[in-house]
Structure 1
Amino acid sequence: MTHAAGGSVRPDRPPRRPRTLGIAAAVIAFSLFAAREVGFDPSTFWEVWSNPLWEKFWPIPWDWVTDGSNVMGPLIETFQIATISTILGCSLALPVSFAMSSLTTPNRPTYLVSRAVMNVVRAVPDLFWAKLMVTAVGIGAFAGSWALTIFSLAVMVKLFSETVDGADPGPLEAARAAGGRHTPSVRTGMLPTVFPDYVAHALYVFELNIRASIVLGLVGAGGIGRVIEAQRQFFRFDRILGMLVIIFVVVFVIEQASVALRKRLV
């Protein structure tokens, strides 16, 4: 301990550990190596911003953007895809999450199999599911809905199963001690405790689906993303910028409403 002016006591600076410095040096060295291997060059940023392509983004043709058949129709379809996939995915995630929790699954093989399967599903990117569904059922919103349903299931199971694992086991143990069977005990002893978190997680998944459905449309899975891809092929970047402005406003409003609802629930 050292004494500063005025008699106040100031704690000594903790010594730097060689291990910490070694890890930091290794991270920096690996980052520099990776940057060199991928051809990272900060000077290219100036070349990007000086590209004459940016001139094609302006002015925005608001008459085309505000036409309901051009933007609002596909944007509503995007909202519908996100809504139905959130409902289906989160509904399927409810029993699967309880099967993946050690608190609510007395059957060890069920616990292990469900976790293994969902780990595989979660490891597959949503774009892969979109391409697979487009190949299986064709281009359109139906393929996007199924792809995002699988994505919603994977995300929701991860979030909600961890919530169940961290919940208070007291009500569930009391229901079992009273002679209740497994399913009724979980329904009355655990579900009321974690249901507000379930709704909050579902709202968060809905936020993710709004953004993901826009990206999945680029590969033919319906929604506003398909319109963006079509305009890109015709080099109408001014229309794309107008659509991005509309998307930003809509997503921002939805996210703020979702955050407010989640704060009230949790």
Structure 2
Amino acid sequence: MIQLHKVSVQYGSFTALHSTTLAFVPGQFTVLLGASGAGKSTLLRSLNLLARPSAGHITVDGVGELDHAGRVHEHRKRTGMIFQQHQLIARQSVLANVLLGRIGYHPAWRTMFPLPYGERRIALECLERVGLLHKALERVDCLSGGQQQRVGIARALAQQPRLMLADEPVASLDPASSRQVLAQLKRFCHEDGITIVVSLHQVDLACEYADRIIGLSHGHVVFDSTPDALTPVQAAALYEQKTAPSEAPDHQAKPIEPKATFVQLATAKEPA
């Protein structure tokens, strides 16, 4: 779906990502592992050119080489991004935040007016998929951290993406919320055939949810295989530790509250 060919990223004299050739396929859940500064975020952000390659090129199926603004825009329109700190508009409703995922499909002037009913329905369907339809009209700042991250996932889903990128999406979440978020991402990856790439620090979560693990160290790819191929020694080496990190305890996610209907939400007024 997307290929990097000898891509490197430099910031001045510092090389954040050395020459890297990788391919990512549809329906595959890939986790990037490595210590802070290993190059995970740089590699992740190079996939939608938030980090511009200093050398090499990136090719996207159906778009071509990302060598000019028109192709970059087309690629970003179908690339969902999930951030560690959520990047939501706190005083807006959950529905309004998810609708931002549809903005790329409209000209700039269209954002001055409410989006049509069809777009609201797409947003509501995405909220239902993450179990937050009943929260659609609440302000985002009234939600828990785990719920806010699921709003971010719904916003990314609203783009109807072919590629979804998540930069340490569970770093600020408790274990139960972390597993709920990763389980939902993996489910959408397999159900929708989306290419999903996630950066994580937690080796146990990577081994539990990933189809593929790419390990980075000092800007180099040093491991690329399935989770069962990652040995404790290799995992420890990624973090330059003597022993591999122990697994976090398992937790059960909290039950989801009763849901509202599409008709009620699509026709309701949002809070001021």
Output the TM-score relative to the length of structure 1. Answer: 0.21
Larger Rg: 1
Output the TM-score relative to the length of structure 2. Answer: 0.21
Q: Higher helix fraction: Structure 1 or Structure 2?
A: 1
Q: Higher strand fraction: Structure 1 or Structure 2?
A: 2
